[in-house]
Chains A and B, each alone.
Chain A
């Protein structure tokens, strides 16, 4: 089976914690190689301790097993380090519709305190940070001063 077909199959795997976007859109899926019917899929964690990695690895194996591919190696790489810049524009839009403020450019992580985050509910930029750390390693907790709704932001990374 050719690589692009494999990629389509694997790309269907949603992120376990944010199911509206898949692992390709999130930038976790890095590479697929095939040599003599031996498939090597390379993934990278968003955070070193991302608890979803073993789940994603199993899903990749399951998906390929269903199309008859058994000789699969799933490799984890730390380099180049994952960045929110790899999240596609389409995925950012989906995040917003899901109620999570998408990340801006990764360099904005350098001045967390001054960045302006837009509320995904009402669109106001009059928001404040409640906590840098949220329900998962990749999100912060914020509140909108206008519509008063709390929301999460995908941290710039």
Chain B
């Protein structure tokens, strides 16, 4: 397969997005504001870790080395992770958790819907499962955006701050590099320029309903495609990789 190396990297990116945000959300287990929300956020986390497993397993099959999805998940250094910067941002207050979920899940819904049409059968299969799950994540986040944005003065204030803080990480969703370009011309990857318009349209409506506004600034953070991350990722990895690093090949 001519595009094998690019496809491997594409799988890492998709797997890492799910793995890192799944890990972030798992931090809320038993700490969410109330029981139902605890169930919701950890269910979303579980969906994501399952998705990470599927993409990283496929990556391990594409790799020339004899590695498993666990090796990929737990034994890479920080600069070999390719998750979007927004997925590694801290949970913060509930407003930050929700705004992050909102931006990510609306993007993921449209992205995976498009990926179901990929010529790569494995990617299309994982995407067709994922899109059904993400639909729930998106509705969950959208409901909260409206409820909190159009809620009390305090909830509105916090939501607006979260939007200001996280908006700068949304530009990365639509970046295309050589991996995307090569796979796009092979009919495998998604054309993210087409997703951008849908995403914008879909986030504006609930934000308006929630009386929230988009920030005035246009500067966007970037780096994850090259393995350049914010300070947050190192902290996640130190916890996530600890066991496999301290006790290589440890099994339950």
In the complex, A67 has a CB within 8 A of chain B: no
B128 A78 Cβ-Cβ under 8 A: yes
Complex Cα gap A109–B133 (Å) = 10
Q: What 7 additional pairs, Cβ within 8 angstroms, besides A47-B46, A157-B132?
A: A47-B47, A47-B50, A79-B124, A131-B40, A133-B40, A133-B44, A133-B136
Q: Mark B91-131, 1 if CB is under 8 A from A, else 0.
A: 00000000000000000000000000000011011101110
Question: With contacts A48-B47, A48-B50, A78-B54 known, is A131 near B36, CB below 8 A?
Answer: yes
In the complex, B140 has a CB within 8 A of chain A: yes
A137 B46 Cβ-Cβ under 8 A: yes
Q: Which residues of A contact B46 (CB under 8 A)?
A: 47, 49, 51, 137
Tell me how many residue pairs across A and B have CB atoms closer than 8 Å. Answer: 75
In the complex, B51 has a CB within 8 A of chain A: yes
B43 A48 Cβ-Cβ under 8 A: no
Q: Mark A102-146, 1 if CB is under 8 A from B, else 0.
A: 000000011011000000000000000011111101000100000
Q: Which residues of A contact B37 (CB under 8 A)?
A: 131
CB interface residues, B 53-101, toward A, < 8 Å:
53-54
B interface majority secondary structure: helix
Number of B positions contacting A (CB below 8 A): 28
Q: Mark A86-112, 1 if CB is under 8 A from B, else 0.
A: 000000000000000000000001101
Instruction: Find B36's partner among A45, A141, A157 (CB 8 Å cutoff).
Output: A141
Q: Which residues of A contact B36 (CB under 8 A)?
A: 130-131, 133, 141
A132 B126 Cβ-Cβ under 8 A: no
In the complex, B4 has a CB within 8 A of chain A: no
Closest CB of chain B to A96's CB: distance in Å? Answer: 22
Closest CB of chain B to A30's CB: distance in Å? Answer: 13
A interface majority secondary structure: loop
**Chain A to chain B: the 7 pairs with minimum beta-carbon distance, closest first:** A49-B50, A48-B50, A79-B125, A131-B36, A133-B43, A78-B125, A133-B40
Number of A positions contacting B (CB below 8 A): 26
30 contacts between A and B (CB under 8 A): A45-B50, A45-B129, A47-B129, A48-B47, A48-B51, A48-B53, A48-B54, A48-B126, A48-B129, A49-B47, A49-B48, A49-B49, A78-B122, A78-B125, A78-B128, A79-B121, A79-B124, A80-B128, A81-B129, A81-B132, A109-B135, A112-B136, A132-B136, A132-B140, A133-B39, A133-B40, A133-B140, A134-B39, A135-B39, A137-B46
Which residue of A has the minimal Cβ distance to B50?
A: A49
Complex Cα gap A82–B126 (Å) = 11
Complex Cα gap A51–B129 (Å) = 16
Q: Which residues of B contact A81 (CB under 8 A)?
A: 125, 128-129, 132
Closest CB of chain B to A144's CB: distance in Å? Answer: 16
Complex Cα gap A120–B50 (Å) = 30
Complex Cα gap A115–B135 (Å) = 15
CB interface residues, B 159-217, toward A, < 8 Å:
none
A79 B128 Cβ-Cβ under 8 A: yes
B132 A109 Cβ-Cβ under 8 A: yes
In the complex, B139 has a CB within 8 A of chain A: yes
Question: With contacts A47-B50, A49-B47, A134-B39 known, is A112 near B139, CB below 8 A?
Answer: yes
